[in-house]
Amino acid sequence: MPGVAPADLKQQIARGTLRPLYFLFGPDEIEKADLVNAFVESLDEGLRPFNLDRMHGGDIQAGDLLDAARTLPMMAERRVIIVSHADALLVPRRESEAAERAIAELAELFAHPPAHATIVIVAADPDSRRKLVMALAKHAVSVPCGVLEDAGEARRWIKAQADAAGVRLEPAAVNLLAERGGTDAARLRAELDRARLFAGGKTVTADDVRAIAGEAELQDEWALARAIERSDAREALRELALLFDDGRVAQMILGQLAWVVRTKLPPIRVRRGIEAVFRTDLDLKRSGGDPRILMERLVVELCEKR
């Protein structure tokens, strides 16, 4: 099925013209999260708890998705089912009779999704040779997020993002941003945001982009981890804020912190750390609060010495 751009999908969702199956993929986690939120907001707020299922691909079996898809909506035309981090579901880790049966069941679901549901499959880097990925490409509305082939696409992406945010850019600034960010959508977004903030509401110029040059490269990716290791909560919170300001999403940061807990913390702090990471992961999946606040709470807990 032909794909659509994220901006076009947002317009479709706003009009209420939802189709039964969508496939969101690509490296731009912020774009995917924004689209997922649009699907969620399309449901009546009062009926949302009854008509929304949010699942994590690494935690469910095929039967869980099938059961959710078969469930009829309550006092609404349709229900929305979102499967995030679906790479694990689309590509089973082990080959077995049970895995083949699950693949066949999901392929049938993708080929004939129920009319009363909208199923949103969200993945990062799906293997296009796999059966389920091919089934999605054939039957779902495909929405590539941050998949940029060349500098021309990068420039068009920058312009589209700037237009959506009401940011004015000089053509020379667009070219320089594309040159600095390449085809990495996450970095392009961070560069654009920094330039926008630096310009302070004025038209972003090439000089503005040059003025912030080097800031991204100088940011220490592991400063947060080291602050947690030495139980420096104040510094850890500052580094966490920098990561969020740089365009990182909570799940990406959480993955790094889980590694820190397993490999860097002393034994006395590991058990509590793992429990805190697990609880935060569940809260994020269940939309149990503002992601930034949840992550700040986690960082403070991880910095506790006891």
What are the structure tokens assigned to 141, written together? 């509305």
Give mean pLDDT, residues 219-230: 76
**What top-level class would CATH report for the domain 6-144?**
alpha beta
* Delimiting residues of CATH 1.20.272 domain(s) in the chain: 223-303
Pick 224 or 21 by higher pLDDT.
21
Domain over 223-303 is classified CATH 1.10.1760: no
d(CA 293, CA 162): 27
Please tell me whether the overall predicted TM-score, pTM, comes out greater than 0.85 for this model.
no
Q: Write the pLDDT tens digit of every residue in 225-272.
A: 888 988 888 888 988 888 887 777 888 788 888 888 887 788 788 888
- 3-class SS at 299? helix
pLDDT value of residue 213: 59
Give mean pLDDT, residues 106-132: 92
Question: Cα 26 from chain centroid?
Answer: 9
Pick 54 or 28 by higher pLDDT.
54
Encode burial over 23-32: b for 16+ CB neighbours within 10 A, e otherwise.
bbbbbbbbbb
Provide the 10 A C-beta neighbour count for residue 266: 9
pLDDT value of residue 33: 85
Give mean pLDDT, residues 48-69: 91
* Delimiting residues of CATH 3.40.50.300 domain(s) in the chain: 6-144
Model confidence band, residue 184 (pLDDT cutoffs 50, 70, 90)? confident
Helix count and strand count (H, E) for the chain: 17, 5
pLDDT value of residue 166: 86
Q: Write the pLDDT tens digit of every residue in 73-101.
A: 999 999 999 998 898 888 877 777 888 89
φ, ψ for residue 129, nearest 5 deg:
-85, -10
* Delimiting residues of CATH 1.10.8.60 domain(s) in the chain: 151-218
Question: For the domain bounded by 151-218, which CATH number is listed?
Answer: 1.10.8.60
